[in-house]
Amino acid sequence: MEQNGTRHPGIVRRTPLPCSPGAWREVGHGQGRGRPIGWVIHASTVPVRSPPSAAGRRAATPGDSRMRITPGAAPAFALITVLTTLLALGGCGQRSILMLEESGMKNLERGRYAEAASDFEESIDRSPGRYESRVGMGRALLALDRPRHARDHLEVAHTLFPDRDAAVGLLAEAMHRGGDTGAAMRFLRERAEERQSPVDWVRFGRFAARTGDADTAERALLTAARIDGGVSVEPQFALAEFYAAIGDEPRAIKRLRMASWLDAGDQRVIGMIRDLGGTPGPTFVQVPAERE
């Protein structure tokens, strides 16, 4: 193979590097000994000084701005060669799916919802089945007050991975804010009835309370506490919040006592006890009714 009238012995193939004008790669064998040189990067746009002349090294000619790595110089430049090649072959600086999702999450945390949506959109375009990207897009679109578009993405996420929880509450929220509260209630009720987990019943109860369906909310939250068996704070605290919201302070205090018995250090419980005029401490606690 020749370039500028000079033959390069041992080089068997030269191809341009993608998205890198003026650069190419050569693959060959060192000085006929059958030892592969590997990737050799030539970049006419980046002046590089050749290593000092020595056996096995070829000094650069005056004005030569190309990088050449011969078999003798390869060990000294191996790391540079590998890194340069990986960067050159990495899709012209295109961010990976994981990088896009990480950027999207950071933008969500910082309130940059349009930028987050852009990150997740690019990820979805390249990998439509990414659960994290679909959920992130749903969150961004809800924050941008686009619940119907959010619902589309969240339904895809939930359909692909129905056992994951991250999309469930967001999907119900998107349905509700998009004007389909009935669908949201059915969705959460059916999930709770199917899975029979305290988490799902608490989620359904809290959502029902938000929509003004107090009877359904109370039944759902009591079901959560019963299934839990009085071992977790969340069902007790959810009941306390519900009773306080409807003005039933005695029952709110009762559930706070039970929650405090389970975890006296829960700051939400402590704060609510004080808000209702109580005094947190060992004398305030009560064994949960579901344990009796």
Sequential pLDDT tens for the chain (292 residues): 444 444 444 444 444 444 444 444 444 434 433 333 333 333 333 343 444 444 444 444 444 444 444 444 444 444 444 444 444 334 456 899 999 999 999 999 999 999 999 999 999 999 999 999 999 999 999 999 999 999 999 999 999 999 999 999 999 999 999 999 999 999 999 999 999 999 999 999 999 999 999 999 999 999 999 999 999 999 999 999 999 999 999 999 999 999 999 999 999 999 999 999 999 999 999 999 999 7
Calpha distance 219→189 (Å, rounded): 11
Calpha distance 122→21 (Å, rounded): 25
Question: Domain of 35?
Answer: 2-88
Query: Is 236 exposed, middle or buried, given 0-12, 13-18 or 19+ CB atoms closer than 10 A?
Result: buried
Domain count for the chain, please give it.
1
Say what angle helices 267-275 and 233-245 make with each other, to 10 degrees.
30
User: According to the model, what pLDDT value does residue 292 have?
Assistant: 76
Backbone phi and psi for residue 167, each to the nearest 5 degrees, phi listed first: -85, -15
In a domain, 136, yes or no: no
In a domain, 39, yes or no: yes
In a domain, 14, yes or no: yes
User: According to the model, what pLDDT value does residue 270 have?
Assistant: 97
Task: Name the nearest CA neighbour of 26 among 3, 58, 47.
Answer: 3
User: According to the model, what pLDDT value does residue 80 have?
Assistant: 42
Retrieve residue 29's tokens: 């064998």
CB atoms within 10 A of CB 5: 5
Are 72 and 115 within 8 A, CB to CB? no
Say which DSSP state 12 is in. E
User: According to the model, what pLDDT value does residue 92 have?
Assistant: 56
In a domain, 19, yes or no: yes
Give the global pTM. Answer: 0.68
In a domain, 209, yes or no: no
In a domain, 286, yes or no: no
In a domain, 25, yes or no: yes
Calpha distance 26→262 (Å, rounded): 69
- Interstrand relation of 11-16 and 23-30 (parallel, antiparallel or unpaired): antiparallel
